[in-house]
Amino acid sequence: MYGELDNHEANGIRTNISSAIFAGQVKAVIWDLEKLGFMDSAGIGLILGRMRDLAPFGGETLILNPSVTMEKIFSFSGLEKNIRHCTVDQAIGEIGGVLHEQ
């Protein structure tokens, strides 16, 4: 992800990822936030909601390279165990997955 993640952007992403999860095509979502300059509450809701969608399937969510501010917000939300400071390839290796970009 790059640029800004606001309500408008979150809506399109939400539809695509949730459809793939419910179709059984996704078992994990890796959110690479290194190039994300701004994220409002809709972005946080997007990530939390996809975690909720994945839960019945035993899916995983990793949040990569958030800014200091974003990391604090995720930690306050109880997501510190999902945060990694690594590359996408390293995260994929950690979960034993295959890359499918949206």
Q: Name the domain count of the chain.
A: 1
Confirm whether 102 is domain-assigned: no
- Structural domain including 86 reads 2-95
Whether residue 98 is predicted with pLDDT greater than 80 in this model: the reply is: no
pLDDT in tens, 32-71: 999 998 898 999 999 999 999 999 999 999 999 999 999 9
Whether residue 102 is predicted with pLDDT greater than 60 in this model: the reply is: no
Confirm whether 100 is domain-assigned: no
Task: List CB contacts of 66: < 8 A, sequence separation 6 or more.
Answer: 33, 36, 74, 83
pLDDT in tens, 64-89: 999 999 999 999 988 999 999 999 99
pTM comes to 0.88
| CATH code: domain of residue 45 | 3.30.750.24
DSSP H helical ranges for 23-80: 41-54, 68-76
